[in-house]
Amino acid sequence: MPARAEAPEDGTPARAEAANGASAPAHATERATDRAASPAQPSQPEAEAAHAEDGEPDAARARADGDFGGRDDAKSDRHTKITVLVALAANLVIAVAKAVGGVLAGSPALLSEAAHSVADSLNEVFLLAALRRSRRPADARHPFGYGKERFFWSLLAAVGIFVMGGCFSVFQGVEALRNGAEEKFSGYVAGLIVLGVALLAEGLSLLRALQQVRRQGGGLSALRDPALRTVVAEDGTAVLGVTLALIGMALHMVTGQVVWEASASLAIGLLLVYVAYRLGRDARAHLIGEAADPELSGRIRAQLRAQPEIDSVEALFTMKMGLDSMLVAARVDLAPGLDSERVEEVAVRIKRSIARTFPEADQIFLDVTDRPAGEARQSPAATGERGGA
């Protein structure tokens, strides 16, 4: 019978319990959580394992040694904060101008845009809170950190866009169709001027956000930050919404038919509802535990398979814990002939190797098993086909 090496719950190093003189371990579990100090003097391999499991995640230690992306993350956060502040300032000024112009002109499209800008301003406050709170360090109550706060506040921003922007704009459009709206020529002129200034301000804010996207490499990967993604979506929607309001008000002025401006208000509302749905769907996926991209999971699996001590990777599970934080859990089958001390050394080395190659993997768990020959894989979850690579 092969021996089994277990990692006890109290955090003492795993040891082999040999049966019939055998010493090869069949099971050893490595945990990257806080460990209680043992009064016994550990051997050298045990000391390495204890150091790897002293509560400091491998990737966090790798960042401290080589600063793998830490400074870039802080710099990216600063740029994102500036982008959010620019958008907030623009939206506050525009919201006041639109509200005053909408009341004076009695324009449903302008009032819809005012509600849109108010919603965007509130959302920027949410995003600033997300930037600050998501970078708090892990503690005993939240051992995996606060990275998912960024997704939570992004979800609140999506709700704000839906309620304060989308629903109010649809209401304004319906009311205009039911009751009609009479506007004076001076009201049209004031409204068009306000919308023109708003288009300029929203366009500048959008350009600022797009510049940051290009600075971070461009493409979809640069929009992984939910705060930046929300600002780009808000500003892009704002530019399109102001354009619709301008067209609707101009056609109302030329034709005298309120249906044009009411239709513009309805279109703005539906546009905001769609944007809120997309942002909310993305935030929900992250909050309930979204796996890493298949390409990244495949690279992690390939690195595990490349280790000479690993016979096979039975399962690989990944989960995004924040903007640049990821949990990796793998069940691997080691080559035969390794004693318990060697298993500990190998597990520590593999975890450090993954942490250095993938800095975002700051929570790494290895479950070392010896699957009996011929055992069938019965469930997708057991083989990593769902939630893993």
Q: Which of 372, 120, 61 is nearest to 241 (CA)?
A: 120
At 327, is the pLDDT very low, low, confident or very high (cuts 50, 70, 90)?
Answer: very high
pTM score over 0.75? no
Q: Residues 229-250: what's their mean pLDDT? A: 86
Q: Do domains 4-55+292-371 and 70-287 have the same CATH topology?
A: no
CB under 8 Å to 245, separation ≥6 — which residues? 109, 110, 112, 113, 195, 261, 264, 265, 268
Convert the pLDDT of each residue in 279-316 to its tens digit: 899 889 889 989 988 999 999 999 999 998 898 999 99
CA 268 to chain centroid, in Å, comes to 27
Domain residue spans of the chain: 4-55+292-371, 70-287
Query: At residue 56, does pLDDT exceed 50?
Result: no
On average, the pLDDT of the chain sits at 74
Query: At residue 38, does pLDDT exceed 90?
Result: no
Query: At residue 252, does pLDDT exceed 70?
Result: yes
pLDDT, greater one: 39 or 292: 292
How high is the pLDDT of residue 26? 36
- Fold type of domain 4-55+292-371: Alpha-Beta Plaits (3.30.70)
CATH homologous superfamily of 70-287 equals Cation efflux protein transmembrane domain (1.20.1510.10)
Convert the pLDDT of each residue in 76-126 to its tens digit: 677 778 878 887 888 888 888 888 888 877 788 888 888 888 888 887 888
CA distance 42 to 194: 74
